[in-house]
Amino acid sequence: MKKSYSICFVLLLAISCASSSALLKDENPTKNFVKCLNRYSADISDLVYTQESSNFTQTLLSTINNLRFAKPETPKPLVIVRPVSESQIQTVIFCSRKHDLQMRIRSGGHSFEGLSYVSPLPFVILDIINLKTFSFDAETETAWIGSGLTNGELYYRIGQKSDTLGFPSGLWANVGVGGILSGGGYGMLMRKYGLAADHVIDARLIDANGRILDRKSMGEDWFWAIRGGGGGSFGVVLSWKVKLVPVPKIITVFKVFRTIEQNLTNTFFRYQAVAPKFPKELEIKADGQCILSDASPRADKKTMIFLFEAMYLGGADQLLSVMQEQLPELGVIREDCFEVNFLQAGVYFSGFPLFTPPEILLNLTILPRPAFKSNNDYTKEPIPVEGLEGIWDLMYKLPPQKATLQFTPYGGRMDEISESALPFPYRAGTWFKFNMFAETDTDEADRIEWIRSITTYLTPYVTSNPRSSYVNYVNLWLGTNNLQGPTSYQQASKWGKRYFRNNFDRLVRIKTMVDPGNFFRHEQSIPPLSL
The torsion angle over the Cα atoms of residues 158, 198, 464 and 304, rounded to 10 degrees, is 20
Partners of residue 286 on adjacent β-strands: 308, 407
* Residue 227 and residue 181 in contact, taking contact as beta carbons nearer than 8 Å: yes
Query: Which residues does 163 contact at the CB level (< 8 Å), separation at least 6?
Result: 249, 341, 342, 343
* Residue 22 and residue 39 in contact, taking contact as beta carbons nearer than 8 Å: no
SS3 content of the chain, % helix, strand, coil (to 5): 40, 20, 40
Residues taking part in catalysis:
473
Query: Which residues does 132 contact at the CB level (< 8 Å), separation at least 6?
Result: 146, 148, 149, 153
* Residue 15 and residue 44 in contact, taking contact as beta carbons nearer than 8 Å: no
The values of phi and psi at residue 313, to 5°, are -85, 80
330 Rama class: left (phi>0) / alpha (psi -120 to 50) / beta: alpha
* Residue 507 and residue 232 in contact, taking contact as beta carbons nearer than 8 Å: no
Four-residue CA torsion sign, 64, 132, 233, 59 = negative
Query: Which residues does 168 contact at the CB level (< 8 Å), separation at least 6?
Result: 185, 186, 187, 189, 190, 192, 193, 194, 195, 196, 198, 199, 245
For residues 464 and 368, give the distance between their C-alpha atoms in angstroms, rounded to a whole number: 34
- Give, as one character, the DSSP assignment of residue 465: S
173 Rama class: left (phi>0) / alpha (psi -120 to 50) / beta: alpha
Query: Which residues does 412 contact at the CB level (< 8 Å), separation at least 6?
Result: 190, 191, 192, 276, 278, 279, 280
- Give, as one character, the DSSP assignment of residue 353: -
Partners of residue 126 on adjacent β-strands: 81, 105
What are the start-end ranges of the E strands in 39-188? 48-50, 79-81, 102-106, 123-127, 134-137, 142-146, 165-166
Burial class (CB in 10 A: 0-12, 13-18, 19+), 448: middle
For residues 348 and 20, give the distance between their C-alpha atoms in angstroms, rounded to a whole number: 57
